[in-house]
Amino acid sequence: MLSDVTTPQDLDDRFREALAGLAAAPRRRDPAERVHDGAPLTGAQLLDLFDAQVTSRQLDLAGRWLRSFGEGFYTIGSAGHEGNAAVAAALHPGDPALLHYRSGAFYCLRAAQAAGEVAFPGPEGETADPAPDGEAAAEAGTPPGEGTAATPSEAAATPTEPGSESEARSAAGSAAGSAAEAEAEAEAEAADGAADGAAAGRDGAAGREDAYAGAARDVLRGMVASAREPIAGGRHKVFGRADLAIVPTTSTIASHLPRAVGAGLALERLRRRDPAGRRAAAEPVGDVGQPPRSPWPPDAIVVCSFGDASVNHATATAAFNTAGWYDHTGLRIPVLFVCEDNGLGISVRSPKGWVEATLRSKPGIRYFSADGTDPVQAYEAAVEAAGWVRRHRRPAVLHLSTVRLMGHAGADAEAAYRSSGEIAADLDRDPVLATARLLVAAGVATADELLARYDERGWQVRRIAEEVLGEPKLASAAEVVAETAPRRPARVARAVADAAARAGGPGAAARADVFGGRLPEAAGPLTLAQSINAALADGMLDHPGMVVFGEDVAARGGVYGVTKGLRDRYGAARVFDTLLDETSILGLGLGAGLAGLLPVPEIQYLAYLHNAEDQLRGEAATMRFFSSGAFRNPMVVRVPGLAYQEGFGGHFHNDNSLAVLRDVPGLVIAVPARPDDAAAMVRTCLASAAVDGSVCVLVEPIALYHTRDLYAEGDGEWLADYAEPGAWAAGHAPVGRARVYGVGSAEDVTIVTFGNGVPMSLRAAAALADEGVGSRVVDLRWLAPLPVTDIVREASLTGRVLVVDETRRSGGVGEGVLAALVDGGFVGAARRVAAVDSFVPLGPAARAVLVTEEAITQGARTLLAR
């Protein structure tokens, strides 16, 4: 008798019992034949699906077994969702996939596809008709895409045999990506021990194991946190492998969906450069560097999967809305959303009919559905959906009804929220059993043969599980963080120097064209905003894959004019406006970086970043961490922020909260205060993103954008000349290095500050100099990583430190500076001046909560009086 909870033993017993009761077919069927008239699958293909499903099921059973004696650290399984093997079968093996955590069967089938061990590498791709990009289409008068409801259903594509042209293209794309990654790794200055271990960890198994066993070894290594796990290296259990085009994601709340939309947008734009992936003959003005290349085939589509509960999450809503919004404008985004609907979010039920109604109602997204427990129906719908997306280069959603077996995870007691009748009904819809029933009914195999196949795979998985138990695990902090955010400052500096050489040499003519014959270095002293604008223009010249986007950045040139003229110089495909949604803006950047571009998104105000900060924390900063460096998402996020705007206030436009950014491991946070520093720091961020795959946030002090004077009106002391290319290398601003100003004797007190605090501190230092006090003003420039060496050195030279922090006293930057001084062994006197723990109010009241020059001067005097 089955219990009210589907334990591993229950599930195994039920499968065996049901299989034993299946009557043999009247005749044996040739596996090369269709399993029945009109079916899209042959017997051999259905057996391949069965093997993938069984491998996934045995992995779930092994996971519970490992957990029973404390050696397994992950028990969220795929039981009940094994129908997603049919989705994998309907795709090309080079289609990038971002999978949720119940994708075991998909992963196994994709591994067999890539190894050429299954009867379908995926349907043959079809040539899609190019369509103008969004804003460019609008400018050209191209009408938006046709409504999804009016598009007739497309016929299912016929599966092809291994060795097809499509497979060759996919393999070539994967090989190109792997080769590029291998070259990058070969250049790395530090040994990549974890990745080497992962590669060696197959123990030569390729000669002994089929692809399903190899996939099982990958997953089991993740379960036991083995350092030889091929993607995350033991840092987390995820589905991912670069050579399988599977991008790792934790996928708990559909936070990967905005990235998938961004990847689709970037993939299509790269495809339009040239359908074969080569550089087009007519490039935009200024493309003097190497053209961007996608790691995936030109006809690829992006697939991402998620559960029914995730449909309700804000990130999923943002992704659907963005895909539909762009589709409405006529821009093509080839992404296939796959919703696997088991009706439950842990214990919370999805209201009956809600998921279908929600997905059907998404404008611009074609809806497909099928019973995900029926292998034939699931495959047929997946082929139709994937084929439609590939042909039309437009978004679609495939809604698969599934079941969930063995609860949400190991500790889940289903009886607390589900009846025994519900559990039994789900057991009757077991997708592995459904495939077995069809195989037996069709005469492809007998019940005994399938049981033998099931047991053979089970023993193989158990043997592999026992083997991986003894593999090494990450044992030190250095191993854990090795791939979080590698820093190669010498290579970044060289990249800046190389860019300068190109700008002053072979690219000089193109540069003159871009700037209309009036180079920025000849334009006279510039403001902060003007310097950033010129540096972005130079950056786009040197990085053909660089794209600038965000709210109002294109036609208007940004709220503060920082991106003015960039669209005119580089076109609407590289500088474009987005819809008003910060999650989607960052998601577009995440996907674009993953696909091979260098995205520079703008979040219009710092306060708005908080709406979408998890796209930086949970998606951007974790990509290298979860992939041992096999994937990366280089990105430079521009954020106008901080306080002190005159005549335009309130906490939405004067936000001084940076704590959430400083808490993200590996994130680079730059805050330029001076025009010359701003240009240099833009170049550094772009180089760091390109060289190291860094995720950089450039926080631009709004109040300093157009500031011209420092000490007195009309002095022009806060303007600076833009450096000509020959001076870029000498003026390079390395990540994590401060700028120091000496005022007076510079021997009495060290003032450590950043952003708006820099000009205020310099004015305060000038006032102190009139009193005979010499100051060293340290502009941090980089808030993460902090310039600790510079801080400690400059503090030690005076023995007195005043930290001027325009962020809040609690959680502000000053706390990190003081901690760095303590950790660095500083033994002198220290004091802090910081903003009050308050939101910034309107008008003159702002001065009551923000740092003032008077407070800085008085703070220094108090420190000197000790």
Check whether 165 has a pLDDT greater than 60.
no
Please report which confidence band the pLDDT of residue 408 belongs to, taking 50, 70 and 90 as the band edges: confident
pLDDT digits (tens, 9 = 90+) for 814-837: 999 999 999 999 999 999 999 999
What average pLDDT is seen over the chain? 86
Please report which confidence band the pLDDT of residue 589 belongs to, taking 50, 70 and 90 as the band edges: very high
Please report which confidence band the pLDDT of residue 727 belongs to, taking 50, 70 and 90 as the band edges: very high
Between CA 425 and CA 430 the distance in angstroms is 9
pLDDT digits (tens, 9 = 90+) for 602-635: 999 888 889 888 888 888 888 888 888 889 899 9
pLDDT digits (tens, 9 = 90+) for 304-350: 999 988 898 999 999 999 999 999 999 999 999 999 988 888 888 78
CB 851 within 8 A of CB 761: no
Query: What is the rounded average pLDDT of the residues 113-119?
Result: 90
pLDDT reported for residue 647:
63
User: Which of 74-88, 486-500, 614-628 is predicted with the least confidence, judged by mean pLDDT?
Assistant: 614-628
pLDDT reported for residue 123:
41
Is the pTM of the predicted complex or chain greater than 0.85? yes
Check whether 121 has a pLDDT greater than 70.
no
pLDDT digits (tens, 9 = 90+) for 374-399: 999 999 999 999 999 999 999 999 99
Token output for 547: 């794209």
Q: What is the full DSSP assignment across 717-728?
A: TT-BPPPPGGGT
Check whether 119 has a pLDDT greater than 80.
no
Please report which confidence band the pLDDT of residue 251 belongs to, taking 50, 70 and 90 as the band edges: low
C-alpha dist (Å) from residue 64 to 3, 5, 406, 461: 17, 14, 10, 13
Token output for 466: 């026992």
Check whether 669 has a pLDDT greater than 60.
yes
pLDDT reported for residue 406:
82
Within 10 angstroms of residue 208's Cβ, the number of other Cβ atoms is 10
Check whether 128 has a pLDDT greater than 70.
no
Please report which confidence band the pLDDT of residue 351 belongs to, taking 50, 70 and 90 as the band edges: confident
Q: What is the full DSSP assignment across 13-66?
A: HHHHHHHHTPPPPSS---TTSBSSTT-S-BHHHHHHHHHHHHHHHHHHHHHHHH
pLDDT reported for residue 316:
93
Please report which confidence band the pLDDT of residue 252 belongs to, taking 50, 70 and 90 as the band edges: low
Check whether 360 has a pLDDT greater than 50.
yes
> Whose CA is closest to 766, among 756, 777, 755?
777
pLDDT reported for residue 394:
97
Between CA 329 and CA 348 the distance in angstroms is 37
Between CA 544 and CA 638 the distance in angstroms is 19
pLDDT reported for residue 168:
35
CB 168 within 8 A of CB 92: no
Question: Which residues on neighbouring strands pair with residue 395, listed in sequence order?
Answer: none
Catalytic residue at 653? yes
Query: What is the rounded average pLDDT of the residues 89-114?
Result: 95
Residue that the structure tokens 């709406």 belong to: 611
Please report which confidence band the pLDDT of residue 173 belongs to, taking 50, 70 and 90 as the band edges: very low
pLDDT digits (tens, 9 = 90+) for 10-49: 889 889 999 999 999 999 999 999 998 888 999 999 999 9
Q: Which helix (H) or strand (E) holds 473?
A: none
pLDDT reported for residue 209:
82
C-alpha dist (Å) from residue 626 to 258, 478, 619, 680: 18, 15, 10, 31
pLDDT digits (tens, 9 = 90+) for 755-804: 999 999 999 999 999 999 999 999 999 999 999 999 999 999 999 999 99
Q: Which of 81, 399, 543, 653 is catalytic?
A: 653
pLDDT digits (tens, 9 = 90+) for 510-566: 999 999 999 999 999 999 999 999 999 999 999 999 999 999 999 999 999 999 999
Check whether 290 has a pLDDT greater than 70.
no
